[in-house]
């Protein structure tokens, strides 16, 4: 849904729906006032990545403002649709006081010009800035009066979009990366059908989780992304291996939050490790003012995980699934992948995914990339469920399916058949799913 264009008719219909919802909320609370939050995106792509980032920041800033001012929040509703992201806050407060606070937020926040915050009194009247004797809002490109620029179409959508991207990059970088990580995890779990994995159709070979468990897990993980980036930026001057230790400490806290959100179910333990390394690399690149390229990302990820196999598996003998996998199969698993700087992504799945996406579209590219990963990866999740035989079976089946080169029409039929087969054998390629999400994440970041 994010990044999809909408139509003028849909925008006008959404405006009517919002007005109806505002009226309905005020009728439920006759003495209340209402704050209506939308995002200023001058484009037919109203739900852009940047719009969602700004909406999340504005939504949380308004909640903080209400709490700090001791204002009772009676109801709060928020939604995303192709016509934009919006929130409604029903408050037990005088409308004029709310307008003062929201204007301060719009004026003081570095992204405030992108926030469109209306305040309605108990009768449904929208208070204007002129009611508070405040100047009209300025254009965020040239500082002239915004309405005049809009009326004359002084700035093109391309110019305005580029300026918005720059503002978000400057003032909400870690929030933007956090949203990319959330989108990557959701893209993976929502991809359907997938063999042996949780998706929108079923729970795969997992009896203790479903797609809603994953959604809860994703929301628990997301707040840790800015922490990883911040710690990597702050300590970018120190040895990368020392930075990795700091990242791992945050990762342990993230795992705890995940288990709390899922009632003890391991949905994303491997993904948390991958994201910690990815965000650490992002933070170190950002701190050194380098460009985000495949080369710089892989180099930083490799530096962070240097000697990880030796440190975690050879010099000690921990009783973990990864260690048992290493000693039985000889495969270094995710630690070896990380120590290589995720070479399997940069050298294999990323170019494969990008070429397939251009030819057949993103959804088909994701499904085929998953098969490529399953055919190549020594997946410890498969091994833990089916031993060496189960791992070999999944690799062989995925390779055979790729070899027949299914087209868009019959690919899903093949995947559903393999899904049923792997469910019957209790096999799930969880490690491949994590690296699929990482492939999408790297591709999206580099092309954004």
Q: Each residue of 217-273: pLDDT tens digit?
A: 999 999 999 999 999 999 999 999 999 999 999 999 999 999 999 999 999 999 999
Give, for 78, the enclosing helix (H) or strand (E). strand 72-81
Residue 269, number of CB atoms within 10 A of its CB: 18
| Residue 315 pLDDT level (bands cut at 50, 70, 90) | low
- pLDDT of 325 reads 81
Name, in order, each residue with C-beta under 8 angstroms of 24's C-beta and a sequence gap of 6 or more. Answer: none
Lowest average pLDDT, out of 85-89, 101-105, 145-149, goes to: 145-149
Percent of the residues in the chain that have a pLDDT greater than 90, as a whole number: 82
Assess whether pLDDT exceeds 70 at residue 4.
Answer: yes
| Residue 159 pLDDT level (bands cut at 50, 70, 90) | confident
Summary mean pLDDT of the chain: 93
Angle at 27 between CA 23 and CA 31, to 5 degrees: 115
| Residue 321 pLDDT level (bands cut at 50, 70, 90) | low
Length of the chain: 448
- pLDDT of 317 reads 61
- pLDDT of 341 reads 97
Q: Mean of the pLDDT values across residues 111-127?
A: 96
- pLDDT of 320 reads 66
- pLDDT of 368 reads 96
Place of tokens 């965020």: 140
- pLDDT of 331 reads 84
- pLDDT of 318 reads 58
Short-list 64, 99, 62, 59, CA closest to 79: 59
User: Residue 169 and residue 181: Cα distance in Å, rounded?
Assistant: 16
Lowest average pLDDT, out of 151-160, 187-196, 279-288, goes to: 151-160
Q: Mean of the pLDDT values across residues 148-177?
A: 88
From residue 139, alpha-carbon distances to 38, 201, 344 in Å are 17, 46, 46
User: Residue 9 and residue 7: Cα distance in Å, rounded?
Assistant: 5
Short-list 225, 328, 330, CA closest to 279: 225
| Residue 441 pLDDT level (bands cut at 50, 70, 90) | very high
Q: What is the pLDDT of residues 179-213, one digit of tens each?
A: 999 999 999 999 999 999 999 999 999 999 999 99
What's the pTM?
A: 0.94
Task: Quickly list H helices, 222-341.
Answer: 224-234, 240-261, 269-287, 294-304, 308-309, 321-329, 333-339
| Residue 33 pLDDT level (bands cut at 50, 70, 90) | very high
Short-list 2, 405, 381, CA closest to 204: 381
Percent of the residues in the chain that have a pLDDT greater than 70, as a whole number: 98
- pLDDT of 437 reads 98
b/e map 344-357, b = 16+ CB within 10 Å: bbbebbbebbbebb
And the tokens for 28? 């439920």
From residue 328, alpha-carbon distances to 101, 334, 378, 389 in Å are 62, 15, 12, 12
Angle at 322 between CA 374 and CA 349, to 5 degrees: 30
- pLDDT of 319 reads 64
Q: What is the pLDDT of residues 375-433, one digit of tens each?
A: 999 998 999 899 999 999 999 999 999 987 767 778 999 999 999 999 999 999 999 99
Q: What is the pLDDT of residues 131-146, one digit of tens each?
A: 777 777 777 777 777 7
Assess whether pLDDT exceeds 80 at residue 328.
Answer: no
- pLDDT of 316 reads 61
- 188 burial via Cβ count (<10 Å: 0-12, 13-18, 19+): buried
Place of tokens 């945050």: 250
């Amino acid at each position: 849904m994010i990044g999809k264009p909408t139509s003028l008719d849909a925008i006008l219909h959404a405006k009517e729906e919002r007005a109806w919802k505002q009226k309905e909320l005020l009728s439920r609370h006759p003495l209340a006032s209402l704050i209506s939050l939308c995002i200023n995106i001058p484009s037919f792509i109203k739900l852009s990545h940047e719009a969602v980032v700004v909406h999340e920041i504005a939504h949380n800033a308004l909640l903080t403002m209400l709490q700090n001012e001791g204002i009772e929040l009676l109801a709060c509703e928020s939604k995303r649709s192709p016509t934009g992201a919006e929130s409604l806050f029903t408050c037990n407060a005088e409308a004029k006081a709310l307008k003062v606070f929201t204007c301060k937020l719009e004026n003081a926040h570095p992204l405030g010009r992108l926030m469109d915050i209306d305040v309605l009194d108990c009768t449904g009247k929208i208070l204007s800035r002129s009611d508070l004797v405040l100047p009209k809002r300025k254009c965020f490109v040239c500082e002239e009066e915004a309405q005049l620029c809009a009326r004359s179409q002084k700035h093109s959508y391309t110019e305005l979009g580029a300026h918005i991207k720059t503002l978000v990059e400057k003032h909400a970088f870690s929030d933007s990366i956090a949203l990319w990580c959330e989108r990557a995890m959701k893209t993976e779990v929502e991809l359907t059908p997938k063999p042996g994995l949780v998706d929108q159709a079923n729970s795969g070979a997992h009896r203790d989780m479903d797609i809603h468990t994953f959604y809860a897990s994703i929301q628990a993980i997301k707040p840790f992304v800015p922490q990883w980036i911040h710690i990597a930026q702050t300590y970018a001057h120190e040895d990368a291996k020392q930075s990795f230790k700091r990242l791992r400490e945050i990762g342990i806290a993230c795992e705890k939050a995940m288990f709390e959100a899922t009632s003890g179910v391991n949905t994303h333990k491997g993904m948390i490790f991958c994201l910690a390394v990815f965000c650490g690399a992002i933070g170190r690149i950002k701190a050194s003012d380098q460009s985000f390229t495949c080369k710089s990302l892989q180099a930083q990820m490799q530096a962070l995980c240097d000697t990880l196999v030796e440190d975690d598996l050879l010099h000690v003998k921990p009783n973990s699934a990864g260690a048992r996998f290493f000693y039985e199969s000889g495969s270094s698993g995710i630690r070896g992948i990380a120590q290589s700087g995720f070479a399997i992504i940069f050298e294999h799945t990323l170019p494969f995914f990008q070429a397939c996406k251009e030819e057949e579209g993103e959804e088909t590219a994701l499904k085929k990339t998953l098969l490529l990963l399953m055919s190549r990866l020594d997946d410890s999740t498969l091994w833990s469920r089916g031993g060496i035989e189960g791992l070999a079976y999944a690799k062989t089946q995925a390779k055979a399916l790729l070899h027949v080169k299914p087209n868009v029409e019959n690919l899903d039929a093949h995947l559903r058949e393999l899904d049923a087969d792997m469910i019957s054998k209790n096999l799930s390629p969880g490690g491949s799913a994590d690296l699929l999400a990482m492939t999408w994440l790297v591709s999206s970041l580099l092309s954004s």
